[in-house]
Amino acid sequence: MDTSPDGVSVLGLGAMGSALAAGFLAAGHRTTVWNRTPGRAAAPALRGAVVAGSAAQALTASPLTVVCLSTYDAVREVLEPLPGAVAGRTVVNLTSGPPVDGQRMAQWAERCGAGYLDGVLMTTPDRVGTPGALQLYAGPAALFRAHEPTLAALGDALHVGEDHGLPSVYDTALLGLMWSTLTGWLLGSALIGADGPGGGVPATAFTDVAARWMKTVETFMRDGARQVDAGHTPGGQFPLDLHLMTMDVLVHACELRGIDPQLPRAHRALVHRAVMEGHGSDSFARLIGYLRDP
C-alpha cells in the first residue's frame, strides 16, 4: 500500500465516488479504493488505482481518505469500528446529510486522534475534476490548507469555516438559489419564445443574453449582501416601488402571451406587502426580513 505524501484513498465507489477516484488518478495521485461491493472497483483499477481488501486497509494506505457513501449511517457503519485505522490520518467526508451529522463525525474523529473535514460537492459526477467544479469544506483551516493541493484535483476547493455543519447548510442554500435561478430562466425562455410580437426567440439565444445579464445581477447580490449584513437597506436608484412597477409589467406580459404568471405573481405579492407596509423606498434586500419572519 502506498503511503507517499500525496497518496489518497477513496471509500465508496458509487457514481460520485468513482468520479472522485478518477479525478485523483488523472491528477497523478497514487489512489487506493475500496467499496463494499467489490465489483465496482474494477473501473478505477483499470485506471491504475490500488484496490484495498477492506476499509481498514484503505484507511491505512494513505494519509488522506475521502469518504463518499450513501448516508451518514453508512459512514458510521464503516468507520466507527476502525478507530485505530483513522488515528493520525485525515478523513474528508463528502457524504450528504444534515449539519448535526457532520458535527458528530468530527467529534468522533477527534476522539480517535484523526483530522476531519466535512464537505460537499456542488457538481455532478461528470464535472468532477474540471476547474469550476465547486467543493466546500469545513473544519480546521490549517488541516484544509495541508490537503488543499490534493483536493484541488477535484476542482475548485473552498474552505467555508471551522464549523463542520457549514457544508450542509451551504448545500441547501445554494440548491435553493439554483432552483430559483433555473425557474426564472425557464420563465424567461418561455416568455421570449412565445408566439406574438417580438417573440419566437430560441432559448439558446435568450440564454446568451441572460448569461451577460447575470453579471449585473451579481452586483445587485453583492450590494444587497452588504446591506443585509449592515441591517440598513436604502433603495437608491432601484427601490422596491420601482421593482413593483416592473413586476406588474412582467405579470401582464405573461398573461398576454399565455405563460403561467404564478411565479411573477408570487414575487409581486412579497414586494407589494413590503411597499404597503411603508418600505417602498428600501432596496430589494429589505425583503429578507419577510423571509426570516414570514
The answer to whether 194 touches 258, Cβ cutoff 8 Å, is: yes
d(CA 90, CA 245): 55
Q: What is the pLDDT of residue 242?
A: 97
pLDDT tens track of the chain, all 294 residues? 444 556 999 999 999 999 999 999 999 999 999 999 988 999 999 999 999 999 999 999 999 999 999 999 999 999 999 999 999 999 999 999 999 999 999 999 999 999 999 999 999 999 999 999 999 999 999 999 999 999 999 999 999 999 999 999 999 999 999 999 999 999 999 999 998 888 899 999 999 999 999 999 999 999 999 999 999 999 999 999 999 999 999 999 999 999 999 999 999 999 999 999 999 999 999 999 999 987
Q: How many Cα neighbours within 13 Å face the side chain of 147?
A: 28
The percent of residues in the chain predicted with pLDDT above 90, rounded, is 94
Assigned CATH for 194-292: 1.10.1040.10
The answer to whether 254 touches 264, Cβ cutoff 8 Å, is: yes
Give the C-alpha distances (Å, rounded to integers) separating 26 from 30, 48, 121, 133, 161.
10, 10, 18, 15, 28
The answer to whether 90 touches 147, Cβ cutoff 8 Å, is: yes
Instruction: Look at the chain and count its residues.
Output: 294
Q: What is the pLDDT of residue 1?
A: 40
Closest CA to 184 of 226, 97, 232, 247: 247
d(CA 106, CA 140): 10
d(CA 32, CA 195): 56
d(CA 247, CA 239): 13
Q: Which of the four CATH numbers 3.40.50.720, 3.40.50.10260, 3.40.50.300, 3.30.390.30 does domain 8-162 have?
A: 3.40.50.720
The answer to whether 154 touches 128, Cβ cutoff 8 Å, is: yes
Q: What is the pLDDT of residue 3?
A: 41
For residue 167, the 8-state DSSP code is H
> pLDDT digits over 87-125, tens only?
999 999 999 999 999 999 999 999 999 999 999 999 999
The enclosing H or E element of 120 equals: strand 115-122
- Matching CATH topology for 8-162 and 194-292? no
> What are the residue boundaries of the structural domains of the chain, listed by start?
8-162, 194-292
C-alpha cell at 242: 420601482
Q: What is the pLDDT of residue 2?
A: 41
